[in-house]
Structure 1
Amino acid sequence: MDPRTTALIVIDVQNGFVNQHSRDVVPAIVRLVKRWQEARAPVVFARFRNEPGSPYERITGWTRLRTAEEQALVDELVPYATQATAVIAKGQSSVFTEEGARLIQNSGWSDLVLCGIDTDSCVYDSAVAAYQKGYRPWIVTDACASTGGPEYHDSALLMAARNISPDQLVTSQAVLERITQKGACA
C-alpha cells in the first residue's frame, strides 16, 4: 500500500454506536489512526446522522443518532479528527455520499482501508460501494465491531470475503506494516 494513494476511512466511531459489543474496538481504532497519521497517510472520519424522516425512521422505526452527543466522535478520537484529511457527515450507511465520493475521486486514492462501527452496516456497505466503483477496499477485521454483537460482525466479514475477496480482510498489524513500507504493494 502506498501512503499517497491509500486512505484510512474511520466509519461512525461515535458515542451513539458505542455499546457493550463495540466499545472494546475503540483502542484498536485509535492505535490505527495514530500510526496512520504518523505515516503521513490520509485519514478520513465519517460521522452518521439520522435525520427526521430518514428511511431508518420511516422503515425500521430507528430514531437514534439524532442528538449532538450521540453523533459526536468518541473522546479518544477527537484529537486525531482535528488533523484528519476530512470529516464527512453522512445520512446513509456508505461513505460514498456526494461529498465522500468527490473527495475520494479528487484525492486520487486507489485503496481505501476501512475500520469502525458497524461492520455489518456502514463498514460493509462502504466496502461494497468502493469495490463497485473500482477502488480496492480493505476491511481491518480487528478494528471493526457491530453493535448487534459478534455474530453480526462475523457475518459481515463472511459476506465481504465472498463478495469482495478474503484477501481484502486484513488485521491492523498487517495493514500498518504495509503502509509504513512506502511504495510497497499489497
Structure 2
Amino acid sequence: MTAFDPDWLPRAALLIVDMNRSHLDHEMGHLLVAKPDADRIIEAAARLRSAWRAAGLPVIFVRTHHRYDPTTGTVVDNKNPFWQAQHKRPIPGLNRERKTLAIEGATVTEVVPQLAPQPGEHTVFKHRYSPFDNTDLGLLLRNLGTETLVICGVNTNNCVLCSCFEAFNRDLRVVVTPDVCASMNGPDYHEAALKLIEAALGVLVPSDEIIAALPRAAAA
C-alpha cells in the first residue's frame, strides 16, 4: 500500500467537492448528509482549509448547478437517462424523493457559510459528477502546476469518487481525507467508496496528518 509522503504537498491543490447547502445545511437542504456527519465534515474542512491557505497552497471549490428554463419549467443540463428515470423516486439511504433543486443561482448551490470561498480561492461549476467534464478544472490545475489533488467533500460515493477516477485518469496523484467526506446515502455507501479509492485510485490520509505536514510544504 502506498504511504503518504509530505513531499507531495508543495505541488498539491485542495479540491473541496460539493460542500453546499443542499447537502449540509439542515435548515434548507434536501439531499442532506446526516446532521452529525455534516457538522463533523464542516468543522474538519474548515480546519484543513485554514491550514492549507496558511501554507500558501491553492484551494479549489467544486459546485454543482444546472441551467433552468422558466418558459418550459425544465432543467436544461440534466438529461441523463438514468437520472431522469430516478427523478421523484426515493434516494437509497435517504428516503427522500430525488428532485433537481440545484439550479443556477439557487441558494442551495452555495458553499455552506462556514466554508465560503475567500479571495484568492477558485471555484469550478460542474453539471455532472465529474469536476472535469466540460469545465476548466484541467486548465486551472495545469496553470497551478498541480501534481497532487487532496480531495474532500460530498457525496463520497458519487462526486468524490468520480473526482478521484477523473484525477487518476489524468495522471494526478490522488489523496482523499476520509474524515472530511460523507454521503447522503449513508455510512455503508461512504465506506464502500473509500474501499474502492484505496484499492485502485489513491491514498486515504486523515486531515490532521495533512495539516501536520503543511508547515514543511510552506517552507519548501
TM normalised by structure 1 equals 0.88
How much does 1:49 deviate?
1.1
SS at match of 1:9: strand
Q: Which range moves more in the overlay, 130-139 or 101-110?
A: 101-110
Which residue among 130, 135, 139 is the counterpart of 2:167? 130
TM normalised by structure 2 equals 0.75
Q: 1:110 to 1:12 in 2, by over 3 A?
A: same
Which structure has more helix as a fraction of its residues? 1
Q: Does the 8 Å contact 1:3/1:40 carry over to 2?
A: no
In the other structure, the counterpart of 2:124 is 88
In the other structure, the counterpart of 2:62 is 46
Which residue among 158, 173, 186 is the counterpart of 2:208? 173
Which residue among 135, 141, 144 is the counterpart of 2:181? 144
Distance in structure 2 (CA, Å) of the matches to 1:2 and 1:106: 17
- Which structure 2 residues correspond to residues 103-122 of structure 1 after superposition, within 5 A? 103-122=140-159
Percent sequence identity over aligned pairs = 26
Structure of higher CA gyration radius: 2
SS at match of 1:181: helix
Distance in structure 2 (CA, Å) of the matches to 1:20 and 1:132: 28
In the other structure, the counterpart of 1:16 is 22
In the other structure, the counterpart of 1:5 is 11
Q: Which range moves more in the overlay, 118-127 or 18-27?
A: 18-27
Q: Does the 8 Å contact 1:2/1:183 carry over to 2?
A: no
Unaligned runs of 5+ in 2: 1-6, 25-31, 68-74, 88-97
Give 2:132's aligned amino acid: F
How much does 1:70 deviate?
0.9
How much does 1:105 deviate?
1.8
Distance in structure 2 (CA, Å) of the matches to 1:30 and 1:131: 26
SS at match of 2:181: strand
SS at match of 1:124: helix
Q: 1:111 to 1:169 in 2, by over 3 A?
A: same
Distance in structure 1 (CA, Å) of the matches to 2:169 and 2:53: 27
How much does 1:20 deviate?
4.7
Q: Which range moves more in the overlay, 48-57 or 145-154?
A: 48-57
Paired residues, number: 181
How much does 1:2 deviate?
4.7
Unaligned runs of 5+ in 1: none
